[in-house]
Amino acid sequence: MKIIKPKKLQKGNTIEILGVSGRIKEYERIQRAKSYLEQAGYNVIISESCQTSHRYMAGLNTEDCLKEFHNAFLSDKVDAILCARGGFGTIKFINDIDWKIIKNNPKIFAGYSDITTLLNLIYTNTGLVTFHSPMANGDFGEEIDEYTKNAFFCALEGRVKCFKANDSTVFNIGKAQGKLFGGNLSTLVSLCGTDFIPNGDLILFIEDLNEPIYKIDKMLTQLFNAEKIKKNVRGIAIGEFLNIEDKKTLNEVIQEFALNLNIPICDGFRITHSKVKDTVPIGINAEFDADNGIITLLEDYVSE
């Protein structure tokens, strides 16, 4: 599969804030995000689906979200797509996505949480590099952390070379190379049964929040029951599992997986639902050094 690298973000570009997951409960946050990004030097438009909802999801209905998703890529006025929020909804329209639209109109696509679905499926089905990044509602729509803001713009401008873990625990030593792949663990697991796993060696990164440890254990087990995951994953970079009841028990669970998988694994990366987060490209070759808690990007991930 040929890798497609989106054009880097530049001042004066137009960013669309796209609502295709959870319902936007406080639209003023989206407006604040728009103002923030405009003050930073970008033009901003907001998809209509940020202002409508059905049940707990954005848009008038699932078909409306799919249409907004396609239109964001089709529009020659839009240079980058920043998702509004996570929640739930993206998995409901993945079987109807026209991948040719994305492949023929490549551009920055960014978000996290439930957007993990689209980040990985876009890459697997088109080769377009996507970005696990902060979003409009919970990040730019509030008082965004300075580190997070700088990491976001540095990444989308193509200036990030590596990611360094903070206070890392090493579960298995070693180095590995592969394409970065992953995101929110529970969202990844929801894709089991679909063709979501790329070919070739992978460096998997994972994070989650508000999940009991037994469910984290269950989700990791389910994910690695997928033969292609077990075969292709060469290392695991663990972000934050927020609001867990016992870090010691979680570490024991991860250590068991480390022993069984026998691949490099460490935690401490700023890949997270918390306010302080990195922006990580999906689909790019990287070296993962578990001993030192470093992910080094081995190629450019945006184009001029």
Say whether 113 is catalytic.
Answer: yes
Structure tokens at 278: 């990195």
Q: Which of 16, 68, 190, 273 is catalytic?
A: 273
Nearest to 17 by CA among 36, 6, 5, 99: 36
Neighbours of 219 (CB within 10 A): 20
* Euclidean distance between CA atoms 191 and 116, whole angstroms: 10
304 a catalytic residue: no
Verify whether residue 273 is a known catalytic residue: yes
Is the dihedral angle over the CA atoms 21, 27, 29, 33 positive or is it negative? Answer: positive
CB 208 within 8 A of CB 186: yes
Tokens of 138: 């919970």
Marked catalytic residue, from 47, 49, 53, 113 = 113
Catalytic residue among 16, 68, 207, 240: 207
Contacts of 135 (CB under 8 A, 6+ apart): 82, 83, 84, 85, 86, 110, 111, 112, 113, 115
Cα–Cα distance, 281 to 217 (Å, whole number): 26
Residues designated catalytic: 113, 207, 273
